Amino acid sequence: MKTALKIAWRFLTASKGQSLLIAIGIAVGVSVQVFIGSLIGGLQVELVDNAIGRNTQITITARDRGDYVENYQEVAGTLEEAGLGVKRVSPVLDASGFLRVGQDDYPIQLRGFASSNADSIYRLTEALVSGALPESGQVALGINLAQEAGIEAMDTVTLATPRGNTRDVSVSGIYDLKTAALNSRWVLTDIALVQAAFGYGDVASAIEMQAEDPFQADQIAVEMAGLLPQSLKVDDWKAQNEQLLSGLNGQSVSSLMIQVFVLVSVVLAIASVLAISVMQKSKQLGILKAMGIRDGSASVIFLAEGFLLGIAGAILGVALGLGLTYAFTRFALNPDGTPVVALLVDPQFIAISALVAVLSATLASLIPARRSARLDPMEVIKNG
Amino acid sequence: MDNIISLKGINKIYGSEIKTQVLTDVNLDIANQSFTSIIGASGSGKSTLLNIIGTLDRPTSGSVIINGTQTTRMTRSALARLRNETIGFVFQFHYLLPEFTALENVLMPARIRDGRVTPEAMERARELMRLMGIERVQNNNAAKMSGGQQQRTSIARALINNPRIVLADEPTGNLDSDSTEVVYDILRDINERFKTTFLIITHDRRIAQKADRIIEIRDGRIFLDLPNQLAKNIGEQSA
């Protein structure tokens, strides 16, 4: 074994140029893996974050249309303590009404939040363009609505219910949730104001929350439904966003496909180069066999060569891939100086890529290794 | 004296469609500690005979008994071990590994046997290289030595595991006549000192006559087999 390793090492170092070339071949494959993986990983995270990370992922509502969640504080408390893997539990009371500015009425959805968790779900603080989040008795408007109605922070506006009740409130700030539909319809406030303005008791229309792992949301929802009274139903984002989900899946699958093809080309490259190397070294192998090296040890020489080349290629490839990734975040920039895609450097993924490269290089050397095991010394020593 | 090599009814046929019979009914016993030379024209089958004795090649029929062991049905791995421990080869072309130094080449059979270089093997390698007069080039790359140095290195390599048999196929084929004389003297010396059996193919009758026994192969058969009384007589007269 040790002898075979020593011979493998010497064979590799004796033809440095060739060995380096093979290692670089493997390295290019690994670096493409690392780069594409980081790129797609980053895209995925960004997309998930934008699409579902700034939104409710599990929502509890009353089963019957028009009904409300009555003991919402209690339910919220239970959910937070149940250890279901949910966070940012936020009861909300929604009501449709109008924003009256002079002679004009703008249709709005008044959202009364019961907890600061809503800020964490929708990242409201981040979304503020001017002013502050609403305190008790205040509202925050979306940027589209504010522009349309010509309202600025600290102005006073009138809320009107469908039944004709009105109430003057002050505008604490203007937000931009990056979605026009929300920016022109949502008016954010606290739950007490909605309850009072619309004449509801101490009720919520929904309890919103996020899951620790958004992709577990459907399973959590099922578990949660079992804990809650029959009068409440649980929805999750996955059931409601099939298109998004299939898009995300498509991205994962295409990323996997790219990686598999890169891998296949790396394996083929190593196998063919090592196969040529066996031919080159067949004379040496014949001599070694004449001197009594076992067929097994002879094949270990080439397995070891594949393994060593794999390690060299993996190290080189990871360095190259990280370099590429760094360069990409450094030079592919948006006009505002942020990277086009924030890449995700996942050490586990990189470790797996490197490991796969080493394994496949070793695997690729199996064919030449078998050939070298079968080589007959007489093929080399024919001189009479 | 015991026979260390015994061939019985050896036939060797090459090719499956066009058959070429290279060896025909060869029976041969080689005494332990003897120094035998094999002569014959090129294509006579002498190298094939040597390769069959060395278990590098298998006969089409007949049996090869080395050191009391029937080799015909041995596994490849058992044969590898037999070659490593019992037989040393010197080929016409030195067949050194160009990736290794002279010393590493000499040590290679010992490394294959022990899995590492033992201090004893190292000591023996240095002694053999001293004996061969190549201690100064021991750290040279095998490819960067003169033909004579390379051939002496390959002889030292054949002897490193202290084999009972050394098979040499025109070991001095590429050397000038002075070097040839020196190499044969060394081989004879080792034959006497370590009691190693030598079987040497040569086309040089002058050299062949230094052996204890001369075997001539012609057309795949043993044509002549005589104890070299002439050589002995000359030796006795000069004494």
For residue A131, name the pLDDT band (cuts at 50, 70, 90).
Answer: confident
- Asked whether residue B82 is domain-assigned, the answer is yes
Is the pLDDT confidence value at B111 over 80? yes
The residue of chain A with its CA nearest to that of B114 is: A3
Q: How far apart are CA A135 and CA A170, in angstroms?
A: 10
Q: Report, as an integer, the average pLDDT of A269-284.
A: 77
Q: Which residues pair with A99 in a beta bridge?
A: A106, A159
Residue B210's nearest CA partner among B39, B70, B41 is B39
Q: What is the distance in angstroms between the Cα of A258 and the nearest Cα belonging to chain B?
A: 39
Assign residue B219 a region: left if phi > 0, alpha if psi is -120 to 50, beta otherwise? left
Q: Is A294 on the interface with B (CB under 8 A)?
A: yes
Cβ-nearest to A3 among B42, B85, B112: B112
Contact indicator for A26, A270 with CB cutoff of 8 Å: yes
**Residue B17 lies in domain:** 3-97+153-238
Q: What is the distance in angstroms between the Cα of A363 and the nearest Cα belonging to chain B?
A: 24
Give the DSSP letter string of A244-264. Answer: HHHHHHHHHHHHHHHHHHHHH
Name the 3-class secondary structure at B92.
coil
Q: How far apart are CA A248 and CA A43, in angstroms?
A: 10
Q: What is the CA radius of gyration of chain B?
A: 18
* A384 with B201: Cβ contact below 8 A: yes
Instruction: Sort out which chain B residues have CB atoms less than 8 A from A10's CB and list them.
Output: 99-100
Convert the pLDDT of each residue in A239-261 to its tens digit: 877 887 888 888 888 878 887 88
* B80 with A289: Cβ contact below 8 A: yes
* A10 with B100: Cβ contact below 8 A: yes
Is the pLDDT confidence value at B119 over 90? yes
Q: How far apart are CA A360 and CA A210, in angstroms?
A: 41
Residues 6+ apart with CB under 8 A from A251: A40, A43, A44, A47
Residues 6+ apart with CB under 8 A from B21: B11, B12, B13, B220
pLDDT of residue A101: 83
Q: How far apart are CA A55 and CA A342, in angstroms?
A: 20
Instruction: Sort out which chain B residues have CB atoms less than 8 A from A381's CB and list them.
Output: 51, 56, 91, 95
- Asked whether residue B185 is domain-assigned, the answer is yes
The domain tally of chain B equals 1
pLDDT of residue B239: 42
Residue A80 vs residues A60, A73, A224: alpha-carbon distances, Å: 13, 11, 11
Q: How far apart are CA B83 and CA A290, in angstroms?
A: 7
Convert the pLDDT of each residue in B207-231 to its tens digit: 788 888 999 999 989 888 888 665 5
Instruction: Sort out which chain B residues have CB atoms less than 8 A from A6's CB and list them.
Output: 111
Residue bearing tokens 């004795």: B53
- Asked whether residue B115 is domain-assigned, the answer is no
Contact indicator for A357, A350 with CB cutoff of 8 Å: no
Contact indicator for A318, A351 with CB cutoff of 8 Å: no
Tokens of B212: 């204890």
Burial letters for A37-65: b for 16+ Cβ neighbours within 10 Å, e otherwise? bbbbbbbebeeeeebbebbbbbbbbbeee
Q: How far apart are CA B25 and CA B11, in angstroms?
A: 5
Rounded to the nearest 10 degrees, how much is the dihedral formed by the CA atoms of B72, B73, B74, B79? 30
**CA A201 from chain center: how many Å?**
41
Residue bearing tokens 């140029």: A17
The CA-to-CA distance between both ends of chain B, in Å, stands at: 25
Domain holding B52: CATH number? 3.40.50.300
Residues 6+ apart with CB under 8 A from B42: A384, B203
Instruction: Sort out which chain A residues have CB atoms less than 8 A from B84's CB and list them.
Output: 291-293
Contact indicator for A371, A364 with CB cutoff of 8 Å: no
For residue A128, name the pLDDT band (cuts at 50, 70, 90).
Answer: confident
Q: Which residues pair with B70 in a beta bridge?
A: B65
Q: Report, as an integer, the average pLDDT of B88-105.
A: 89
Convert the pLDDT of each residue in A366-376 to its tens digit: 888 888 888 88
Residue B142 vs residues A112, A180, A287, A377: alpha-carbon distances, Å: 87, 79, 14, 20
Is the pLDDT confidence value at A384 over 70? no
Convert the pLDDT of each residue in A347-373 to its tens digit: 888 898 889 888 888 888 888 888 888
- Asked whether residue B105 is domain-assigned, the answer is no
DSSP strands (E only) in chain A = 58-62, 86-101, 104-113, 128-131, 138-142, 156-160, 166-175, 186-190, 206-211, 232-236
- Cβ-in-10-Å burial (0-12, 13-18, 19+) of A205 comes to buried
Residue A197's nearest CA partner among A168, A167, A171 is A167
Eight-state DSSP code of residue A204: B
The domain ranges of chain A are 2-51+245-378, 68-230
Q: Report, as an integer, the average pLDDT of A121-126.
A: 83
Q: What is the distance in angstroms between the Cα of A4 and the nearest Cα belonging to chain B?
A: 9
* A14 with B80: Cβ contact below 8 A: no
pTM: 0.72
pLDDT of residue A363: 84
* A295 with B93: Cβ contact below 8 A: no
Mutate to test the interface with B, among A12, A291, A382 (most CBs of B within 10 A): A291
Q: How many CB atoms sit inside 10 A of residue A29's CB?
A: 28
Cβ-nearest to B56 among A3, A7, A290: A290
- Asked whether residue B44 is domain-assigned, the answer is yes
Q: How far apart are CA B217 and CA B203, in angstroms?
A: 11
Q: How far apart are CA B163 and CA B124, in angstroms?
A: 13
In residues, how long is chain B?
239
Q: Write the single-letter amino acid at A82.
A: A
Is the pLDDT confidence value at B195 over 60? yes
